[in-house]
């Protein structure tokens, strides 16, 4: 079922500071423009690596789901891992049938790459928050 490791989601109190770190300390050469995802309560910025991406996520609004993470980890840290799947509904239904808890209503939302996403509960995923996203049909990542 799972395909590419699309990105590692990294929570940060400041996208600007994190982009500077990836650029000036680690020498990453491509950070995209940050943008807001108000429905998900996050501001997002992708840093490209040759084979994958880091997704920097900063809280947006007073009820951002990232605020709790940053309260426990003020400097930020690894927040989730995102795997691509061919068909999000088929993946969701197969996982549910095996007893995996899908977060929220279980209805896919549109994620940062413009394709449907779901999140799987860490209790069923070895303590790791897992995002599944449908592979973009145009081959873009």
Which listed range, 23-31, 34-42, 60-68, 103-111, lies at the site for its own copies (CB under 8 A)? 23-31
110 makes contact with its own copies (CB under 8 A) = no
In the bound complex, what is the minimum distance in angstroms from residue 121's beta carbon to its own copies?
11
* Of 33, 39, 62, 127, the one binding its own copies by CB under 8 A: 127
Whether 131 is catalytic is yes
How would you classify residue 114: left for phi > 0, otherwise alpha for psi between -120 and 50, otherwise beta?
left
The full DSSP string for 37-75 is EGGGTEEEEEEE-SS-EEEEEEE-STT-THHHHHHH-TT
Which listed range, 37-45, 60-68, 93-101, 106-114, lies at the site for its own copies (CB under 8 A)? 93-101
* The two three-digit tokens of residue 9, written as one number: 């989601």
| Active centre residues (catalytic) | 131
């Amino acid at each position: 079922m799972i395909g590419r490791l699309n990105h590692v989601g990294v929570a940060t109190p400041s996208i600007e500071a994190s982009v500077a770190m990836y650029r000036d300390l680690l020498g990453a050469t491509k950070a995209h423009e940050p943008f807001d995802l108000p429905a998900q309560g996050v501001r997002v910025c992708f840093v490209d690596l040759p084979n994958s991406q880091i997704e920097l996520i900063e809280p947006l609004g007073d009820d951002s789901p990232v605020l709790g993470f940053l309260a426990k980890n003020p400097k930020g840290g690894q927040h989730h891992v995102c795997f691509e799947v061919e068909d999000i509904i088929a993946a969701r239904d197969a996982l549910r049938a095996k007893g995996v808890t899908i977060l929220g209503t279980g209805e896919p939302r549109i994620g940062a790459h413009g394709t449907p996403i779901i999140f799987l509960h860490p209790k069923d995923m070895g303590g790791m928050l897992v995002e599944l996203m449908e592979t973009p049909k145009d081959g873009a990542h």
